[in-house]
Chains A and B, each alone.
Chain A
């Protein structure tokens, strides 16, 4: 699988806003067994200086994974998703995601490398509020396995 290196540096239009719900954060925290009160109880979150319940550190992925379909499903890039495995994942937080946030993702193709018959695609997603306040930057490296 060879990925076209000329896509490096390409930035896609902002995604439609994602409304972060309190119950979605609670559901996610429960699914990973995270019991800290600030993930579940608005009062506990306010005591830490947040407007509402905050999300565990990997929660932003639930938003960016769907947003990154812009790249994964870009017909010009032509990725066979059945051959994709997740290589690396990294988050750099300005602040935690909080219930009530309305978030927009801007995806950029940061790097494309071919090695050992496999393609390596690194995407960077800048997640910010609709008002333009930066929240978290998310990097994903996807490995597109070669045939055979």
Chain B
């Protein structure tokens, strides 16, 4: 079973807010000068911010904020966030898999930005929604 896709917009303001809330002040997430100096195309979103947005999709699909038992991702491609009002967007989709364990459901997740996968092997195990 597929779940309905969700889209999240990411702007530079979101990155600043996430940096403050998470304590991750790496300048690749706010300084174009620094990001390009280390070989990135520009300021990129924190991988953990992308993972958090996908996590939002997971708890919303689960219908419960405390349903997540396990959650893992591999970061494959940076999410570049331009310095304008539009920012960028990630799209999150999920396929439901049987875990074989009663009461648990696995979600195989896909997150893309401009059609390219930004996470791989992204999976969450949730308590099966009632």
- On A, residues with C-beta under 8 Å from B are 24, 27-28, 30-34, 36, 38-39, 48, 50, 54, 56-58, 61-62, 65-66, 82, 85-93, 95-96, 139
Contacts and interface: CB of A to CB of B under 8 A. Distances in A.
Which has the most chain A C-beta neighbours within 10 Å: B66, B72, B75? Answer: B66
Question: Which 8 A-B pairs rank lowest in CB-CB distance, beginning with the nearest?
Answer: A90-B72, A31-B21, A36-B65, A32-B52, A31-B17, A58-B52, A57-B55, A38-B65
Interface of B: 8, 14, 17-18, 20-24, 38, 47-49, 51-53, 55-56, 58-60, 64-66, 68-75, 121
B47 to A, nearest CB: 5
Given A58-B48, A62-B22, A32 B68 contact: no
Contact of B73 (A24, A27, A36, A89): A89
Contacts of A93: 68-71
A38 B21 contact: no
A61 B49 CA distance: 11
B5 to A, nearest CB: 16
